[in-house]
Amino acid sequence: MKGLVIANWKMNASLEAVRVFAEKWQHLPALTNVDTVICPPGPYLQAVKSAMAVELGAQDASAHVAGAYTGEVSAEMLRELGCQWAIVGHSERRAYHGESSRAVAEKAMAVMSAGLCPVVCVGETLVDRDQGRHEEVVAEQLKASIAGVSPEPLVVAYEPVWAIGTGVTATAEQADGMHGVIRACLNQVYGSESFGIRVIYGGSVKPENAGELFVCENIDGALVGGASLEAESFWKIAQAANAGSQ
Ligand code: PEP
């Protein structure tokens, strides 16, 4: 399966930062065996699109098509701006904006209807893991977050909440194990149609740990926060995914 690395810039960067990133990016060799996506803050989507050869994604999308939803942005608007991908259900949105798995499924359906690929995020908290409930929690969250969502095109990102932005990465064994659980779940829901769904890992991925993650059988790529803000660091992660999926 072709690798996939997605940069989640969160609410970081600036027009100047986009220019600096693009300037460095254009001198780095192109990678053929990995899809490389950047999800900048909405106001910088067009700047990223015109400055560099990467696929474009959004960090969120509305579940609604149009109407009186102040502050929201529809998937169709994102498509018009050139987005092919949209992250939905990131743990920061679940935690700070109270998004339920039902709401995440609705967003995923709206994204798909507009012709974009949803990247559905799931992950357990440290308390869930300490209590030994992590597999059950993630399986339940996943099933609810893809209820009614078709398997094509779909990406699932496993992002343990305790590993996001903390510098603590899940070990390759922990990540691969959970990806196996996710694969089994997808298989239960979609049968053989699940085989094309890429399952990517997110949580403090850096150039130093990317290689060991991407050699794992069940890990098809990464969703990268902090380490995606600098071009060379993100490229090195993409290069590791490129090598891991040969
Ligand atoms: C993320 O925001 O999805 C993420 C994984 O962040 P970080 O790589 O900084 O942990």
Q: Tell me yes or no: is domain 3-244 CATH 3.20.20.70.
A: yes
Give the atom of ligand 1 at the shortest distance from the alpha carbon of 167.
10
3-class state of residue 108 by DSSP: helix
pTM of the model: 0.97
Ligand 1: distance of its center to the CA of 226 in Å?
Answer: 6
Q: Is 202 in the pocket of ligand 1 (CB under 6 A)?
A: yes
Q: Which of 223, 228, 230, 237 to mutate to test the pocket of ligand 1 (most atoms within 8 A of CB)?
A: 223
Return d(Cα 198, Cα 188) in angstroms, integer: 16
| Domain residue extents for the chain | 3-244
Q: Is 223 in the pocket of ligand 1 (CB under 6 A)?
A: yes
End-to-end CA distance of the chain: 9
| Model pLDDT, residue 169 | 87
Return d(Cα 117, Cα 112) in angstroms, integer: 6
Rounded to 5 degrees, what angle do the CA atoms 224, 169, 199 make?
Answer: 55
Q: State the sign of the Cα–Cα–Cα–Cα dihedral 110, 111, 116, 119.
A: negative
Q: What are the CA-CA distances from residue 85 to residues 56, 68, 153 (Å)? A: 7, 24, 10
Task: Give the model confidence (pLDDT) of 98-130 as tens digits.
Answer: 999 999 999 999 999 999 999 999 999 999 999
Give the atom of ligand 1 at the shortest distance from the alpha carbon of 157.
3
98 CB burial (10 A radius; 0-12, 13-18, 19+) = exposed
- Which of the following is catalytic: 92, 106, 124, 159? 159
Q: How many CB atoms lie within 10 A of CB 181?
A: 18
Q: Is 124 in the pocket of ligand 1 (CB under 6 A)?
A: no
Rounded to 5 degrees, what angle do the CA atoms 200, 1, 75 make?
Answer: 55
Ligand 1: distance of its center to the CA of 54 in Å?
Answer: 19
Q: Is 164 in the pocket of ligand 1 (CB under 6 A)?
A: yes
Give residue 3's identity as a one-letter amino acid code.
G
3-class state of residue 118 by DSSP: strand
Task: Give the model confidence (pLDDT) of 10-37 as tens digits.
Answer: 999 999 999 999 999 999 999 999 999 9
Ligand 1: distance of its center to the CA of 210 in Å?
Answer: 13
Q: Is 62 in the pocket of ligand 1 (CB under 6 A)?
A: no
Q: Is 219 in the pocket of ligand 1 (CB under 6 A)?
A: no
| Model pLDDT, residue 246 | 60
Beta bridge partners of 85: 57, 117
Residue nearest to atom 7 of ligand 1 (CA): 225
Q: Which regions in the chain score pLDDT beneath 70?
A: 246
